[in-house]
Copies of this chain bind each other. A is one copy, B any other.
Amino acid sequence: MAQRSGGSQISSVKHPVVQLARRLSRPAERAEHDRFLIEGPNSVQAALDAGVDVDTLLSTGAAARRHAGLLAAAASAGTRVLQVTDQVMASIAPTVTPQGVVAIAPGVTRPLERLPAGASFVCVLDGVADPGNLGTVLRAADAAGADALVTTAGSVHADSPKAVRAAAGSLFHLPVFDAVPWPVARDACRAAGLRLVGADAHAGVGLDAAGLDGPVALVLGSETHGLSSAAKADCDQLVSLPVYGRAESLNLAAAAAILLYEVARRHRDKGAGA
């Protein structure tokens, strides 16, 4: 039974909704329940704006007053809106600052069968380990106008709380295909007529000579190990970013942003793509 105080505030961490929210920090529980957590008012607003059928919105009393418009929008979209104590909120999101607002929503990532019809610009993340990097790349892919993001099996999940936060709403803006075995990702890109261009610091081909003008899947590897050997072998071209100074390389999110925007520029200049 939920202990309540201050009207209808949930004050027990044993309340079933609170227990579910806490469980969703774990990938296996997200998969089992087909639900994930959206933290913070901006991300929840982005989900509602994108038409995500948010189940439940939990907020503290202070956040409910600060974000009254968001709560009203959620309620009128059919979302169950519940207030929780600060302690309960802290138990759901102990390591972050969700600004007093957390939502539970049905999963938006999906396994890959085929890419969306007409896709001409796809970003593939092969074995990315850091959820913040994944979210930042997803946000940059969205800004650059990519048609989809694919992550390979072994990558961190795009619906993990840190990735959702770093994506700043972009998880709801383009299709994200999660935990896709590399051969499936490769074949889907080829079936869609995309050229597989992999980023590899050791490649001899620089950005200018890269074949990015036509339909393309940009493949980026892990922060520490780069592309898997399978991905490297299957790519139609490997390209490297030039380094003009003394840095050995760029970090993944920075390199991804530069490459994604280079594709966007080429597609715009050359009129290629969908």
Given that A168-B251, A250-B257, A258-B257 are known contacts, is A174 also in contact with B139, CB under 8 Å in the complex? no
Docked CA distance A256–B136 (Å): 13
The answer to whether A142 touches B253, judged by C-beta atoms less than 8 angstroms apart, is: no
The answer to whether A139 touches B173, judged by C-beta atoms less than 8 angstroms apart, is: no
A1 at the interface (CB under 8 A from B): no
A255 at the interface (CB under 8 A from B): yes
Contact with B along A129-150 (1 / 0, CB 8 A): 0000000100111111110000
The answer to whether B257 touches A143, judged by C-beta atoms less than 8 angstroms apart, is: no
Chain B, residue nearest A268 (CB): B244
Docked CA distance A174–B246 (Å): 9
A248 at the interface (CB under 8 A from B): yes
The answer to whether B136 touches A247, judged by C-beta atoms less than 8 angstroms apart, is: no
A166 at the interface (CB under 8 A from B): yes
Please list 15 pairs of residues, one from A and one from B, whose beta carbons are closer than 8 Å in the complex, sorted by A's number.
Answer: A140-B247, A142-B247, A143-B244, A145-B244, A166-B251, A168-B247, A170-B245, A170-B247, A173-B246, A174-B245, A242-B264, A244-B264, A254-B257, A255-B257, A258-B258
Interface size grouping (class) on chain A: 35 or more
Within 233-273 of A, Cβ neighbours of B (below 8 Å) are at 241-251, 253-258, 261, 264, 268
Tell me which of B140, B146, B250 contacts A250 (CB under 8 A): B140
A100 at the interface (CB under 8 A from B): no
Docked CA distance A166–B247 (Å): 12
Docked CA distance A143–B139 (Å): 22
Docked CA distance A243–B169 (Å): 14
**Chain B residues with CB below 8 A from A140, complex form:** 247, 250-251, 254
Chain B, residue nearest A49 (CB): B246
**Chain B residues with CB below 8 A from A250, complex form:** 139-140, 143, 257
- Shortest CB-to-CB span from A5 to chain B, Å, is 34
- Shortest CB-to-CB span from A176 to chain B, Å, is 13
Tell me which of B243, B244, B253, B268 contacts A254 (CB under 8 A): B253
